[in-house]
Structure 1
């Protein structure tokens, strides 16, 4: 056998071995990917089965009071109970509540309610569903709303602990040239689901859900639904509905009282 033939035989053997090794590596990669996928699926399945509750009062915005600012533009505002709202905000914004209630005739629901129900995977044509709520709509009436110190608005029980972790969930829609903290800027006419996880290894860290307006113009609109403070890490990519809340019975009682006596005037 000539040297050339021996070299060709060696090269052929090396190529065969390389192909065999490459095949084994590909097989191992596939097995590793399968293990990773199985682990991720297991984690996702476990996360979806965990019990989550909202711990902030009036997360469904069903309890409210009516208020007409004495120095404002004359609109009657519907303000969520237990929220903190600066007087300048009351004077220069209009607060409305849009019903998203189980049992309401689907075609008679506000277009915003229908759109949100579709986005939440409940369905705008669904007559009955678990957890009625309101959408809060804030319309800017005067740019003077930005003049002043302190938080413009803060939700009830806005304190988010970082250890253990706390999630803040909400649905938002913004038709605006400006923006607001926790709601952000224009959403191109669409509802969005937003998730914030406050987490730290250090005890005592916290964040507040304070809503402040920036660079807003007259007519800017901000929509907010189901602002929910949830202990733990809410699964990324999962939309929330009306969660269990220990304050629900209190809200129901207040709503019942208002139904009998009329809305509470400030």
Structure 2
């Protein structure tokens, strides 16, 4: 056998070995991806199986005048709260209007006829904000919330005009979807969960804003945010009678 033939054989063997190793690496990578996905699913489910308790009041959306009950406003510029509309349980999916279908789908309730409590869509309008003169914070749940452990601050929301961000309106945009953030917290910490306005005026719609103890995943493609049992009131809904 010539030297050239020997070298050719060595190269062929090396190529075959490389192909085998590459295939094995591909199989390992695939198994790792599957394992990671399964682990992530397990973690999400484990979090949701733990008790989630709401620290903030009035997730339902009761309003007095132009104020959201148990929320404090920034009084340096005008903020008006009003009821935009309600979505009622018991209506067949095919009988719901386009906006209802859009909202319910964004909440993971596609096709659902029944739910509790009824869904109140709250509208917040602001005007007169001057960035060089005013703090940008808007409204926040009162009393302040404990953040010694992990908390989730979230809502379902849609931006209509202007710009606002942070806390339960983190990543809000022109389409309905879950907005919010997870925070690990620390001993003795607390939060004022107030979204920040970025424009002199604007309007945003939101549903079920709250601060809860524990981690709830914030994913628009797989919403898990819900109406959580309250630490306050005579019932876990902390809502108006008959809601």
Indicate the TM-score class for this superposition, using the shorter chain for normalisation.
0.7 to 0.9
Say which SS state the counterpart of residue 108 (structure 2) adopts.
coil
**Corresponding residue of 1:116:** 103
**Post-superposition offset of 1:175:** 1.5
Return closer, same or farther for 1:112/1:136 CA change in 2, 3 Å cut-off.
Answer: farther
5 Å matches for 1:150-165? Answer: 152-161=138-147, 163-165=148-150
1:227-258: CA deviations, max 9, x gaps? Answer: 1211112124233122222435369898459x
Q: Which residue of 2 aligns with 1:11?
A: 11
Tell me, in whole angstroms, the C-alpha distance in 1 between the residues paired with 2:176 and 2:10.
65
- In the alignment, the residues of structure 2 paired with residue 116 and residue 203 of structure 1 have an alpha-carbon distance, to the nearest angstrom, of 37
* 1:222 counterpart residue number: 204
Secondary structure of the corresponding residue to residue 18 of structure 1: helix
Offset, 1:171: 1.4
Q: TM-score, normalised by structure 2?
A: 0.75
- Contact residue 99 and residue 113 of structure 1 kept, 8 A: no
For residues 27 and 252 of structure 1, the distance between their equivalents in structure 2, rounded to whole angstroms, comes to: 49
- Report the structure number with the largest CA radius of gyration: 1
TM-score (norm 1): 0.70
**Deviation (angstroms), 1:134:** 1.9
Deviates more, 1:246-255 or 1:234-243: 246-255
Q: CA 1:8–1:216 in 2, change beyond 3 Å: closer, same or farther?
A: same
Number of positions where the alignment pairs a residue of Structure 1 with one of Structure 2: 237
Alignment of 1:112-151 (within 5 A): 113-123=100-110, 126-140=112-126, 142-143=127-128
**C-alpha RMSD of matched pairs (Å):** 3.7
Find the aligned partners of 1:43 and 1:29 in 2 and give their Cα distance.
21
Q: Shift in Å at residue 113 of structure 1?
A: 4.9
Offset, 1:168: 0.4
SS in 2 for 1:245: coil
| Structure 2 stretches lacking a partner, 5+ long | none
CA distance in 2, matches of 1:176, 1:53: 32
Matched, 1:81 2:65: no
The corresponding residue for 1:74 is none
* Alignment pair present for 1:23 and 2:32: no
**What are the ranges of 5 or more consecutive residues in structure 1 without an aligned counterpart?**
68-76, 258-266
Change over 3 Å in CA distance of 1:108–1:155 after alignment to 2: farther
Q: In the superposition, relative to structure 1, how do residues 160 and 174 fare at CA in structure 2: closer, same or farther (>3 Å)? A: farther
CA shift in 2, pair 1:210/1:27, >3 Å:
closer
